[in-house]
């Protein structure tokens, strides 16, 4: 049924030139005389020729696409990062392959493998892998990798990240400035680098203030609003008094706030609340949530940019952005 695929051979024949020439008008038009070029272009147009990327790639070595493994594409934070990557890639004609690992190292590895096999020209990954063995292999095979929000100290892999500890310290200090001497942190498992680092940052601030170990962690299952709400519900059952709350990310913070509201009206004075990421929606809630702002979109752009410069032979580098506290009503006692 379907028309046999038009190949460059058909185009060449239709234009009365050799395939080499046809290929040249596609890739190095300046080497072809205007007249022939025109003829070939018309043939391309008329036949609806679309070059077969696989063949091109097989011959020339790499795909004009990069792969990204993110934690959860439904989290606005990652969507924004993805958009930053995509926009930067777009400028150089690369496409983006995405996969969500959902925090599962095996899913992460599967995507990496798929991407590699597909011949992507590079990979950007928010890794949840423990030892980075997979990445060691990848770079061993010559693939360019940029780590996002993650890092393997002993591996020569460039990374783009935010200083989680600094952000968490800012959050904790802010909470202490409100007069609280203890902090409850809704946090995910410490296998996630962000979770571990943000907890560590909060601890540092507490310790520096001479408050020893005044950080209590409440485990959340999923790092989203449902996870936050569920954890908050259980926590509230223990009838805690007024508490300063720090959430590992804004989605969790939203869930916690939602639950607190449901349980009888949320008041900043009783439960000052700080999130992390500063995603759009937190600014715009009934009680807007104080958060730690990351240059999300830039994170993506820079990661993509680094990947490109690696192809140009740059050396390994680590970019760390410094996040910023954005104070809102959730920590302004009324």
Partner DNA sequence: ATGAAAGCGCTAACAG
Partner DNA sequence: CTGTTAGCGCTTTCAT
Q: Does 117 bind a second copy (CB under 8 A)?
A: yes
- For a second copy, the binding residue among 37, 99, 159, 247 (CB under 8 A) is 99
Per CB under 8 A, 46 contacts a second copy: no
Shortest gap between Cβ of 72 and a second copy (angstroms)?
9
Question: Which of 3-11, 202-210, 272-280, 307-315 is the region at the interface with DNA (rule: CB under 7 A)?
Answer: 3-11
Q: Which does 275 bind (CB under 5 to 8 A by kind): DNA, a second copy, none?
A: none
Q: How far apart are CA 313 and CA 306, in angstroms?
A: 10
| Of the residues 19, 73, 200, 319, which one makes contact with a second copy according to CB under 8 A | 73
- Smallest separation, CB 332 to a second copy (Å): 16
Residue 2 in contact with a second copy, rule: CB under 8 A = yes
- For a second copy, the closer CB: 76 or 103: 76
Interactions with DNA, residue window 15-74 (CB under 7 A)? 16-24, 26-27, 31-33, 35-37, 49, 51-52, 55-56, 58-60
- If the CB atoms of residues 26 and 319 are measured against DNA, the closer one turns out to be 26
User: Cβ of residue 215: shortest distance to a second copy, in angstroms?
Assistant: 27
Per CB under 7 A, 9 contacts DNA = yes
Task: Decide: is 185 part of the binding site for a second copy (CB under 8 A).
Answer: no
Query: What secondary structure, in 3-state letters, does the chain show?
Result: CCCCCCCHHHHHHHHCCCHHHHHHHHHCHHHCCHHHHHHHHHHHHHHCCCCCHHHHHHHHCCCCEEEEEECCCCCHHHHHHHHHHHHHHHHCCCEEEEEECCCCHHHHHHHHHHHHHCCCCCEEECCCCCCCHHHHHHHHCCCCEEEECCCCCCCCCEEEEECHHHHHHHHHHHHHHCCCCCEEEEECCCCCHHHHHHHHHHHHHHHHCCCCCCEEEEECCCCCHHHHHHHHHHHHHCCCCCCEEEECCHHHHHHHHHHHHHCCCCCCCCCCEECCECCHHHHHCCCCCEEEECCHHHHHHHHHHHHHHHHCCCCCCEEEECCEEECCHHHCCC
Return the residue of 10, 13, 19, 95 that touches a second copy, per CB under 8 A. Answer: 95
Q: Whose Cβ is closer to a second copy: residue 73's or residue 319's?
A: 73
Least Å distance, CB 24 to a second copy, is 18
Burial of 237 (0-12, 13-18, 19+ CB in 10 A): exposed
Position 194 contacts DNA (CB under 7 A): no
162, two tokens: 């935010």
Interface segment toward a second copy; rule CB under 8 A; list 96-104, 191-199, 268-276, 316-324 = 96-104
| Rounded Cα–Cα distance for residues 310 and 326 (Å) | 34
Compute the half-sphere exposure of residue 158: CA atoms within 13 Å on the CB side of its CA. Answer: 25
Indicate which single residue of 19, 36, 105, 118 sits in contact with a second copy (rule: CB under 8 A).
Answer: 118
Q: Is 27:55 a contact under the CB 8 Å cutoff?
A: no
Q: Which of 270, 285, 293, 332 binds a second copy (CB under 8 A)?
A: 285
Distance, in Å, from the CA atom of 281 to the CA atom of 12, rounded to the nearest integer, reads 55
- Tell me: does residue 55 bind a second copy (CB under 8 A): yes
Report the residue from 51, 103, 105, 240 that binds a second copy according to the rule CB under 8 A: 51
Contact window for a second copy (CB under 8 A) among 98-106, 152-160, 170-178, 189-197 = 98-106
Distance CA 273, CA 128 (A): 27
Residue 315 beta carbon to DNA: minimum distance, rounded to whole angstroms: 25
- Report the interface residues with a second copy, using CB under 8 A: 1-3, 5-6, 48, 50-58, 63-65, 73-74, 76, 79-80, 82-83, 86, 95-100, 111, 113-119, 137, 140-142, 225, 254, 258, 280-281, 284-286
């Amino acid at each position: 049924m379907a028309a046999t695929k038009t190949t460059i051979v058909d185009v060449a024949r239709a234009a009365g030139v050799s395939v080499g020439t046809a290929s040249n008008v596609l890739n190095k038009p300046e080497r072809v005389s205007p007249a022939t070029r025109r003829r070939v272009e018309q043939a391309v147009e008329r036949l609806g020729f679309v070059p077969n990327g696989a063949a091109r790639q097989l011959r020339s070595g790499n795909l004009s696409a990069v792969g990204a493994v993110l934690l959860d594409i439904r989290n606005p934070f990652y969507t924004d990062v993805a958009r930053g990557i995509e926009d930067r890639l777009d400028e150089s004609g690369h496409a983006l392959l995405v996969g969500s690992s959902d925090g599962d190292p095996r899913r992460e590895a599967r995507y990496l493998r798929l991407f590699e096999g597909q011949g992507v020209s590079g990979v950007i990954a928010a890794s949840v892998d423990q030892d980075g063995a997979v990445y060691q292999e990848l770079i061993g095979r010559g693939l360019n990798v940029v780590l996002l929000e993650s890092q393997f100290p002993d591996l020569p892999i460039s990374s783009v990240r935010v200083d989680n500890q600094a952000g968490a310290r800012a959050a904790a200090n802010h909470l202490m400035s409100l007069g609280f001497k203890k902090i409850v942190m809704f946090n995910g498992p410490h296998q996630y680098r962000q979770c571990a680092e943000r907890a560590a940052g909060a601890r540092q601030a507490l310790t520096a203030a001479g408050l020893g170990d005044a950080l209590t962690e409440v485990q959340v299952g999923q790092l989203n609003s449902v996870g936050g709400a569920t954890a908050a519900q259980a926590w509230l059952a223990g009838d805690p008094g007024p508490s300063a709350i720090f959430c590992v990310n804004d989605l969790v913070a939203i869930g916690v706030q939602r639950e607190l509201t449901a349980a009888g009206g949320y008041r900043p004075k009783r439960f000052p609340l700080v999130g992390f990421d500063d995603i759009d929606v937190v600014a715009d809630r009934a009680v807007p949530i104080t958060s730690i702002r990351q240059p999300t979109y830039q994170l993506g752009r820079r990661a993509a940019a680094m990947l490109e410069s690696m192809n140009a032979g740059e050396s390994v580098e680590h970019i760390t952005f410094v996040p910023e506290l954005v104070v809102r009503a959730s920590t302004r006692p009324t």
